[in-house]
Chain A
Amino acid sequence: MDFSNFSLFIGRFHPLLVHLPIGFIFMVYIIEIAEHYKLIEHTKKVVKLILLSGGVSGIITCVLGYFLGSGESDYDFESIQLHQWLGIITTLVVFGAYFLKEKDNQFYKPSLGLLFILLSATGHMGGNLTHGSTYLTQYAPIKFNEHPNEFERPEITSVEEAQVFGDLVYPILETKCISCHNEEKKKGNLSLTSKASILKGGKNGAFVVAGNSAKSSFVERISLPHHHEDIMPPEGKKPLSDQDIALITFWIDQGMGSFDTTLVALSPDEKLEEIVLQRLGFKASKSSYAFENIDPAIITQLKENHFEIRELIVGSNALDVSISKKIDINKGIQTLEPIKNNILWLDLKEQDVNGEDLKKIGQYTHLVKLNLSKTSIHDNDLMALKELQNLEVINLHSTNISDEGLEILKGIPSIKKIYSWNTNIGKQLAEVH
């Protein structure tokens, strides 16, 4: 048995036990109010007993709090002093209220009022010490700007504006680290709320070594195995994700741990770039495939009518459309109208497509691949496709297309491949480019 840290051991019961006097005191309010409205009577003895219990448990709580405060060096000295004295005063006021009640003194009720204020203040300070001062108001509907934050960043509108630290690393600190590493509660003597304190590091030093993540204790501690004693955030809290760690490593290695390096000044690899874009909310800006949203009901209905529809990349609204059996295609094309700007690949092989249908398809602005093989289209029907700016591949095998149709298609600047086997063109594969 090792009793060397015993005072700290029992001291850590302070946050638990503190709720006992709070509960007792609130019980007094409830009884007094109930008596005031004549719901119950003859409560004097009960109230006295509860106040006494509150006072005694208050003393125990104060003692444990003292152990905790002197044992752990992680707390801000001034905050803890204030919390300590407020706690002691609160306890004394409880005893005061007990004697006033005993004497049926007129100051009894005002003393309860004072107690309420003291209790709230002490409790709030205690909460700030445990969870950090931003904890309570972080998700409040109204923003409390009590602590102006030097890392506060305006909303960015383009990737060019993004700062590696301010827009990518700080949000991680804010959600996962700062509750224990702030000015009031400096676990391991580390605060992450200002540039200076981050550079200063904690008691283990070398928190951020510019350009060398391997030597930075920041990266070392967050990338330990999940059950390691020293992992940060500590066991029981959610560890940082691989993406978080990758971003922090990137900031230290390539961003040299600087606070105002912009993202574009560095060169993240492909995987990291994807993470970054996703985090900043520019998910699809890299590839040009981001189209207007589609009502899922339309897709469901099309699927019921034998259309096979799938999204080419999740979240892009870019669609690959084919048909699994022969349908009334003229009607079918009409049902595609609501999603015409979303279709990239369209497969209409073996369907009875006519010139009118092609006129509609000619307005599918983003179409890249079109399969019209084994259909009965004619050369001049293809005129309707001339306006397609993105069409790269068209499959016309086993149709009646001739050289004339081929010439029309060659006029589309974006076209790369025309499959023309088994047509009147006579060539097997015409590669334009």
Chain B
Amino acid sequence: MCNKKKFRSNNKDLQSVEKKMDRRHFLTTTSMGIGAFALGSLMGLEKVFGGTKKTAQEEIMQSLPHFLPKAKRVVYLFQSGGPSQFETFDYKPKLTDMFGKELPSSVRQGQRLTAMSAQQSSLPIAPSKFKFKQHGESRTWVSELLPHTAKMVDDLCIIKSMYTEQINHDPAITFFQTGHQLPGRPSIGSWMSYGLGSDNKNFPNFIVLTSGNGGQPLYSRLWGNGFLPTQHQGVQFRSGKDPVLFLNNPENYHHEDRKDMLSYLKELNEVQNSAYGDPEVDARISQYEMAFRMQTSVPEVTDMSDEPDEVFEMYGKDSRTPGTYAANCLMARRLLEKDVKFIQLYHRGWDHHAGLPWGMKKQCEATDQPTAAFLKDLKQRGLLEDTLVIWGGEFGRTVYSQGKLTPQSYGRDHHPKCFSMWMAGAGVKAGMSYGETDDFSYNIVKDPVHVHDFHATLMHIMGIDHEKLTYKFQGRRFRLTDVHGNVVNDILS
């Protein structure tokens, strides 16, 4: 607390307020201060006897990365709402002959259903209305709804045996993003940012892009930092004039003035910090500095006018419309080229309780081509060499129809016990399918992969031992995988 600069107002009213503040300051710092002093002297002694003793957290941070990282960056294409595995990657030909038949109770095994279909008098089996074909050298079955993804299938590692414990959107997506079904934990991207730091100080480590409308809402806690320092939360880029809100200077406000203002503000914050030592003050200082750097870096990356026409054609015509999934995919590639560590796209609208064939068709049309183009683009630019791409939702969907089953249309309810997702790029085997479900895609019969296992594997690919990256908060050490998670070694390249 030495060498503290005092900022004093020359306004009389303010001076009287400052005096009161001092009295309060005295009271608060002395009541806590005695304890703090005792603690401080203890820590001082520790320094005398123990040399430079590191805190436990510092030791954790300095042990990273634990392994040779396979990937430097992650792009997570989150399909919010729960895309059906039946109409995408989990081909179930035997269901065709069982159209409309009752789901055998031996398959369901008394599993509790959601309130949305628990009241149904029957649970008729609904085979996929769409055809499947084998693609690529890996001869992987892919639905006709995903013709572009099908062409990239030899680059994918499809996991058909994902499962979760959550059956409704909010807890399921929160679970997927933070490792816990209740809000408050840091998201995957925040852990990565915290653990691995930045490769480009002009951008946040964790950037979020959202698209799609209707369906389940998204909320900023999905990319929240939880108890980790605030600068590790995801920064959302929007479409339109201000990609990052409140980033631009007010009109007629000069860049240099901004710089001066921020440097004074930093001094003020440091005064506050030296008095209280609140890490959130550090976080705020670093965020202001980041925002200042982003004033130049963000317009550069969001201005897509330097992309040639053939790129827009590859990503599809939507890619010219800001805020679409296609435009976000293209933006993600541009951010990757700037070495942003963790980019997460969220695309809404996969929650097809009714009218699923129509809904799936619409969503696949909006996402299939951009997704495939994104992969292809990354591959040709060599970015797939050190980038991991992930595609998937928060859970799967039921084999039985929710609501009326007709040859033209049906719906599917939430199904946590199995669903498909894929990874591609650095660290995972290409052209691989992992795990199997039963003939009804209701239960997993081989190689189940839990959400915690997925997190553990993802961290492993980034060079982190998921058991070792912990953060102590409220007396407990937290991990992304809590006390669970096994790395799925079989899919690692």
Contact = CB atoms under 8 A, between A and B. Distances in A.
Asked if chains A and B come from one complex, the reply is yes
Interface of A: 287, 289, 308, 310-314, 320, 322, 324-325, 345, 347, 349, 369, 371, 373, 393, 395, 397, 417, 419, 421-422, 428-429
A324 B201 contact: yes
B68 interface: yes
B373 to A, nearest CB: 14
B202 A312 contact: no
Contacts of A422: 380
B385 interface: yes
B276 interface: no
B381 A419 contact: yes
Contact of A428 (B202, B380, B463): B380
A95 to B, nearest CB: 42
- Category for how many chain B residues contact A: 20 to 34
Nearest to A396: B382
Contact of A289 (B68, B197, B201): B68
B379 A429 contact: yes
Contact of A324 (B68, B202, B386): B202
Given A289-B68, A312-B463, A417-B385, 16 more contacts: A287-B68, A308-B199, A308-B200, A313-B66, A314-B62, A320-B72, A324-B199, A324-B339, A347-B339, A349-B337, A393-B382, A395-B382, A397-B382, A419-B382, A419-B385, A421-B380
Interface in B354-406: 379-382, 385-386
4 smallest A-B Cβ distances: which pairs?
A419-B382, A421-B380, A395-B382, A324-B200
Contact of B197 (A287, A310, A397): A310
Contacts, number: 61
Contact residues of B: prevailing secondary structure = loop
B301 interface: no
Interface string B195-211: 01111111000000000
B64 interface: yes
B63 interface: yes
B426 to A, nearest CB: 11
Nearest to A344: B68
B335 to A, nearest CB: 13
A136 to B, nearest CB: 21
A312 B198 CA distance: 14
B435 interface: no
A347 B73 CA distance: 14
Contacts of B66: 313-314
Contacts of B379: 429
A421 B198 CA distance: 28
A429 B380 contact: yes
B243 interface: no
Interface string B337-349: 1010000000000
B65 to A, nearest CB: 6
A369 B69 CA distance: 13
26 contacts: A287-B68, A312-B68, A312-B463, A314-B62, A314-B64, A314-B66, A322-B199, A324-B199, A324-B202, A325-B202, A345-B386, A349-B337, A369-B385, A373-B381, A395-B382, A395-B385, A397-B380, A397-B381, A397-B382, A417-B385, A419-B380, A419-B381, A419-B382, A421-B380, A421-B381, A429-B380
